[in-house]
Amino acid sequence: MRICMRDDRKRKFTIALLSSITHLELVKRPQPDVMLYSFCTPDKERIYREVDEARDERILFVAGGPHPTGAPEEVLEHFDAVFIGEAEISLPLFTERLRKGGSIRDVPGIAFKENGKIRINPPPPPIDLNEFSKPYRFRAPIEISRGCPHSCKYCQTPRIFGRKMRFRTPENVERMTRGYREVRFISSDSFSYGGESRVEWIGKLFKMLEGRKIYFGTFPSEVRPDSISDDVLSLVSEYCENKSIHIGAQSGSERVLKEINRGHGIEEVYESCEKIISHGLKPIVDVIFGLPCEREEDQLMTLEMVKEIVKMGGEVRSHYFFPLPGTPYENETPVKVSNEVKKVMGKLALKGKVRGIWDGEIRKRAQKSS
C-alpha cells in the first residue's frame, strides 16, 4: 500500500516533518492508495478542486493541518478522513491499521463519516516533542515549542495545540540539526522558549549550536512584546546572525488589544522596540488591519504607532485580517481599511519601511496619489 503526501512548497514545514516517515512518498498529484494533504485556510478552495477532480475509488483522501483541524465537518465534504490537531501518534496508527486491513474506527484525533454521520474521535494526549526528533530530510526550521498560553481571538495556535507551551530540549535540537549550516526555528513566541528557565535554556541552546548560523526571534517565528528582555537580547546579539527581531503588536489601539485578548498594551510595544534598538538590532513589528472589532479611529491609532516605530528605526509587516476556523472570529467579516491608512502605508511601503501581504496593493495606490 502506497502512502503519499501532496508536495506543496507552501506547506514545506509540514512536509519536512512528515517526510521523516520512511514509507511516505511526496507526490505532485493525487495517487493511489492513501493521499495525504496538509493545508491552511487560504489554500482550501484550490485543494478542494484538486481532490474533487481526482476523486477515484482507489484513493483514500486524508486531510490534516490548520484548516482541517478548525473545520473538520466542512473538509469531510471533500475528504474521506480528517486528522484534528497533532497527528504524530494518530497518523502512524492510522496507516498501520490500513496496511493490516484493520479498522480506523478508534484511531484517536480523527474525524470521518460513519453511516452518513460525522464521527469525531477524542484527541490523543499532547505529545512530547523530544520523542519525535528524527532529523528532517530537508533543512527546514526546527519546531522548538507547541502551544500558547494566550488566547488571541484571531489565532488558531492555542486551539490546535493547547494553552500550555511544550518545549524541545536544547540537546534534542542540537541532535536534530547536525549537518545544518543554518538553523531557524518555529515557535509561537521564541523568547518564551524554556518557560521560566528561558534565559538558561536559550543560552544553552545557542552554545550547543555554535559553529552554525543561528536565526532566533525572526520569521517564521515572532516574539511577544511582553517577552522581550535584555538578557535574551544580549544572547541573540552575541550568538545569532539575525540583526532584527520580529514582534507581534497587531494594533495601536488599547481598546482593540483588549478586545482581541492580546494581553499587552501599546507601551509594552514601544518599550520592546527601544530595548531591541539598544542592543543594536532592528524591530520589525507585525500589525493587523481589518480586525472585526476595529473602527476607523482604531486604524488611525495603529497608523500612528506604525509611523512612530518607523521614526524609531524599525520596520512594519502589515497584514489584513483573515477569519480562521475554530477561532472566536471564524465567522466574522474583515473591516474595510480606510483610504487614509492605505495611502500612508503605501508611501511607507515605497520607502521600504512597510512590508506584508498587501503592500503590493498599497504601493500602487501610493504611486497613483503621488
User: Taking 90 as the threshold, does the pLDDT of residue 136 lie above it?
Assistant: no
Model confidence at 356, pLDDT cuts 50, 70, 90, reads: confident
What pLDDT is recorded for position 19?
Answer: 46
In a domain, residue 357? The reply is yes
Q: Where are the beta strands (DSSP E) in the chain?
A: 3-6, 24-27, 34-38, 60-64, 81-83, 110-114, 117-120, 142-143, 145-146, 166-167, 182-183, 185-186, 213-214, 244-250, 282-289, 315-320, 354-356
What pLDDT is recorded for position 20?
Answer: 46
Between these two residues, 237 and 13, which has the higher pLDDT value? 237
What pLDDT is recorded for position 15?
Answer: 44
Is 98 found in the same domain as 205? no
Is 90 found in the same domain as 145? no
Is 169 found in the same domain as 62? no
What pLDDT is recorded for position 296?
Answer: 97
Quote the Cα angle for 146-147-148, to 5°. Answer: 135
Closest CA to 318 of 271, 366, 279: 366
Is 113 found in the same domain as 16? yes
In a domain, residue 188? The reply is yes
Write out pLDDT tens, residues 84-93.
999 988 999 9
Is 192 found in the same domain as 132? yes
What pLDDT is recorded for position 9?
Answer: 63
Region 258-286 average pLDDT: 98
Percentage of the residues of the chain whose pLDDT score is greater than 90: 79
Dist. CA 297–CA 342, nearest whole Å: 14
User: Taking 90 as the threshold, does the pLDDT of residue 319 lie above it?
Assistant: yes
Is 237 found in the same domain as 138? yes
In the numeric block, which cell numbers belong to residue 120?
Answer: 469525531
Is 290 found in the same domain as 325? yes
What pLDDT is recorded for position 220?
Answer: 82
Domain boundary among 80, 103, 120: 120
Dist. CA 276–CA 226, nearest whole Å: 12
Domain count, the chain: 3
In a domain, residue 257? The reply is no
Least confident of 27-36, 44-53, 290-299, 303-312: 27-36
pLDDT averaged over every residue in the chain: 91
Dist. CA 330–CA 346, nearest whole Å: 28
What pLDDT is recorded for position 18?
Answer: 56
Q: What is the CATH number of the domain that holds 191?
A: 3.30.750.210
Closest CA to 303 of 261, 367, 256, 368: 256
User: Taking 80 as the threshold, does the pLDDT of residue 21 lie above it?
Assistant: no
Domain boundary among 97, 120, 143: 120
The secondary structure of 195-258 as a DSSP string is GGGHHHHHHHHHHHTTTSEE--S-TT--B-GGG--HHHHHHHHHH-S-SEEEEEEE-S-HHHHH
Region 49-72 average pLDDT: 95
Q: What is the CATH number of the domain that holds 275?
A: 3.30.750
Q: What is the CATH number of the domain that holds 109?
A: 3.40.50
In a domain, residue 221? The reply is yes
In a domain, residue 22? The reply is yes
Least confident of 133-142, 231-240, 310-319: 133-142
Domain of 337? Answer: 271-370
Is 114 found in the same domain as 143? no
User: Taking 70 as the threshold, does the pLDDT of residue 368 lie above it?
Assistant: no
Work out the end-to-end distance of the chain between its first and last CA atoms, rounded to an integer number of angstroms: 61
Region 64-78 average pLDDT: 96
Dist. CA 278–CA 284, nearest whole Å: 14
In a domain, residue 262? The reply is no
In a domain, residue 205? The reply is yes
